[in-house]
């Protein structure tokens, strides 16, 4: 049987057992399509103001209504997907890779490497994490790159500690000893023998963490420390809409807020599905 066919069966197996995963994948696809083709899909230019249609409620013309400057909210929500997901995914990928590398070294070699890396993570964890992220962006400047950097740094201890623990329990296992007997030096032992076994658990953590990263990046923009208006971004849109909560123009914050919630919800659900898919004991 070919490996592709086996993979297909594994995917089918994971979805068959968990319908919610299917829902999550559907939402993810929608989000990814928006991120990839947002500008082409959006009915209006997300930056175009229209003084004749300020604050119009959802209608056939503007499905999600318009904001105080008459910009189409649907278009802004759709176009913002690229930036919001892009920032969160980049941050998660970076902290995943760096955290895995640092944690694996700490967990496998122990000793002073473990102590230095542990101390570094303790230092990061000593701060309230969102405040630390605010500080980093405030110090380095409002830019997409710095938001990614800040989000990466505050998530780093999470991955590093997880990887350290998982590597540490496997370090003494029979199959690792067997790998060394089979001529594997430290790096191949880690890369080929240990890390593939901890990846499933790491991916689940990453997927669960993804929601938090989205909220974090959007949150920085929400408090004015992230990307700047008029860039379409969910956090800014919620923050702009929030001033109309009292006056009742609910569509200005409900739709971008819903996009955020949906994205967070989707990645949390995916975490569970992924666990089933990647667990080697369930492979056929």
Partner 1 sequence: MTQPLLDARALTKRYPVGGGKRGAMLHAVDAVDLTIAPGECVGLVGESGCGKSTLVRLLARLIDPTSGNIFLDGADTTAVSQARFVTMPDRARIQVVFQDPSESLNPSFRVFDSIADPLKRLLGVRDRDKLAAQVHRAAELVGLPRELIERYPHQLSGGQRARVGIARAIVVEPSLLILDEPTSALDVSVQAIILRLLADLQARLGMSYLFVSHDLNVVRLLCSRIVVMYLGRVVEVAPTEELFTAPRHPYTRALIASIPDPARRGEARPRLDGSPRSPIDPDPNTCRFYGRCPTGTDRCATAMPELLRFGEGHFAACHFA
Interface contacts to partner 1, rule CB under 8 A? 1, 173-175, 177-186, 188, 192-193, 196-197, 280-281, 283-284
How far apart are CB 111 and partner 1 at their closest, in Å?
13
Cβ distance to partner 1 smaller for residue 139 or 181: 181
How far apart are CB 172 and partner 1 at their closest, in Å?
10
How far apart are CB 96 and partner 1 at their closest, in Å?
19
Cβ distance to partner 1 smaller for residue 138 or 186: 186
How far apart are CB 82 and partner 1 at their closest, in Å?
35
Task: Report the 3 state secondary structure along the chain.
Answer: CCHHHHHHHHHHHHHHHCHHHHHHHHHHHHHHHHHHHHHHHCCCCCCCCCHHHCCCCCCCCCCCCECCCCCEHHHHHHHHHHHHHHHHHHHHHHHHHHHHHHHHHHHHHCHHHHHHHHHHHHHHHCCCHHHHHHHHHHHHCCCHHHHHHHHHHHHHHHHHHHHHHHHHHHHCCHHHHHHHHCCCCHHHHHHHHHHHHHHHHHHHHHHHHHHHHHHHHHHHHHCCCCCCCCCCCHHHHHHHHHCCCCCCCCHHHHHHHHHHHHHHHHHHHHHHHHHHHHCHHHCC
Cβ distance to partner 1 smaller for residue 119 or 281: 281
How far apart are CB 149 and partner 1 at their closest, in Å?
33
Cβ distance to partner 1 smaller for residue 174 or 248: 174
Cβ distance to partner 1 smaller for residue 168 or 197: 197
């Amino acid at each position: 049987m070919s490996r592709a066919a086996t993979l297909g069966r594994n995917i089918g197996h994971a979805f068959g057992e968990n319908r919610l995963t299917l829902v999550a994948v559907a939402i993810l696809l929608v989000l990814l399509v928006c991120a990839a083709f947002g500008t082409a899909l959006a009915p209006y230019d997300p930056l175009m103001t229209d003084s004749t249609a300020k604050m119009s409620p959802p209608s056939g013309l503007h499905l999600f209504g318009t904001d105080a400057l008459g910009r189409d909210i649907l278009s802004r929500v759709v176009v913002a997907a690229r930036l919001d997901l892009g920032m969160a995914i980049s941050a998660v990928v970076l902290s995943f890779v760096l955290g895995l590398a640092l944690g694996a070294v700490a967990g496998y070699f122990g000793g002073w490497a473990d102590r230095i890396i542990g101390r570094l993570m303790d230092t990061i964890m000593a701060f309230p994490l969102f405040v630390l992220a605010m500080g980093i962006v405030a110090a380095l400047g409002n830019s997409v790159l710095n938001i990614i950097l800040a989000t990466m740094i505050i998530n780093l201890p999470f991955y590093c500690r997880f990887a350290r623990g998982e590597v540490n329990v496997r370090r003494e296992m029979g199959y690792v000893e067997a790998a060394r007997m089979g001529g594997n030096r430290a790096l191949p032992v880690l890369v080929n023998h240990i890390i593939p076994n901890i990846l499933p658990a790491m991916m689940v953590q990453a997927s669960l963490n993804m929601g938090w990263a989205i909220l974090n990046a959007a949150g920085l923009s929400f408090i004015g420390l992230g990307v700047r208006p008029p860039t379409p971004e969910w956090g800014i849109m919620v923050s702009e809409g929030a001033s109309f909560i009292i006056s009742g123009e609910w569509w200005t914050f409900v739709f971008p807020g819903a996009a955020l919630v949906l994205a967070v919800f989707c990645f949390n659900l995916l975490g569970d599905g992924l666990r089933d898919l990647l667990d080697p004991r369930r492979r056929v």
